[in-house]
């Protein structure tokens, strides 16, 4: 389980693998200077509702991964998250598609 902290106001836990893909999608949008909504369904333990953030390039976001290894990245999943972020409804957590190409997270840092 990993943790995302947005603007020191919203702290949410996601599975490390999912969080790594969210981090890449958010990082791509923010690097482009783009703002967007990010929506997810809350866990039953925190009220079973929905949370919607307005992600902006100027707001601080941090990610804490509790697993010791960086997950393999499914580039199709990152692309699917980015497509949802570019939609009127904003980025939503979408199911992981079957991967045709995966890379280790460390490889992405060199590209």
The pLDDT value recorded for residue 90 is: 95
**pLDDT band, very low/low/confident/very high, at 83 (cuts 50, 70, 90):** very high
* Structural domain boundaries enclosing 57: 2-109
Give the DSSP H/E element, type plus range, for residue 107.
helix 105-109
- For residue 36 the two structure tokens come to 């967007």
Using one digit for the tens of pLDDT, what is the confidence trace for 3-50? 999 999 999 999 999 999 999 999 999 999 999 999 999 877 777 789
| Summary mean pLDDT of the chain | 89
Look at residue 109 and tell me whether its pLDDT is greater than 60: no
Does the pLDDT at position 56 exceed 80? yes
Contacts of 15 (CB under 8 A, 6+ apart): 1, 2
Q: List, in order, residues 6 or more apart from 26 with CB less than 8 Å away.
A: 38, 55, 61, 91
Number of separate domains in the chain: 1
Q: What pTM was computed for the model?
A: 0.85
| The predicted structure's pLDDT at residue 103 | 63
């Amino acid at each position: 389980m990993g943790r995302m902290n947005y603007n020191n106001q919203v702290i949410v836990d996601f599975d490390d693998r999912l969080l790594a893909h969210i981090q890449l999608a958010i990082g791509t949008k923010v690097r482009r200077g783009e703002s967007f909504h990010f929506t997810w369904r809350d866990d039953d333990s925190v009220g079973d509702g929905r949370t919607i953030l307005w992600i902006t390039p100027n707001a601080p976001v941090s990610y804490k991964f509790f697993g010791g290894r960086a997950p393999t990245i499914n580039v199709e999943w990152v692309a699917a998250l980015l497509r949802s972020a570019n939609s009127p409804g904003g980025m939503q957590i979408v199911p992981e598609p079957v991967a045709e190409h995966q890379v280790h997270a460390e490889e992405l840092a060199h590209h």
